[in-house]
Amino acid sequence: MAASADFAAIDRLRREWNDAFVLAADRPELLRFAGRVGRVVTVNCNGKAVVDFADGAWYDIALAHLTKATDDEAKGKYDATANSAQASPTRQG
């Protein structure tokens, strides 16, 4: 079945990209993320990454427009407590 092959491909992408720190490409629609490090929450069934830039929202971004950040690039640039995407967020409202 083609559908199960698609789910298998999505699962592979999720294993590769989930929780990865990423940088957005220099594209006009992604300029608001320039110089910011995001974290991939998951890969949706359309094959796009759901990215958290620690601003309280998640964004669907094509994997082709993301690059994985090195540990040095990510260090200190991503604050996981700055958003509401956590089990017990400290900031409410």
Residue ranges of domains in the chain, CATH in brackets = 2-75 (2.30.30.140)
Range list of β-strands (E), 1-81: 21-24, 38-43, 48-52, 58-62, 66-68
pLDDT at 3 over 60: no
The predicted model scores a pTM of: 0.81
State how far the Cα of 38 lies from the Cα of 59, in Å rounded to an integer: 10
Instruction: Give the distance, in angstroms, between the CA of residue 50 and the centroid of all CA atoms in the same chain.
Output: 5
50-71, pLDDT tens digit by residue? 999 988 889 999 999 999 998 8
CA torsion through residues 18, 20, 28, 82, sign: positive
**What is the predicted pLDDT for the residue at 46?**
92
Contact 29, 21 (CB under 8 A): no
What is the chain's mean pLDDT, rounded?
A: 86
CA dist., res. 24 & res. 5, Å (int): 28
**Residue-level pLDDT at 82:** 73
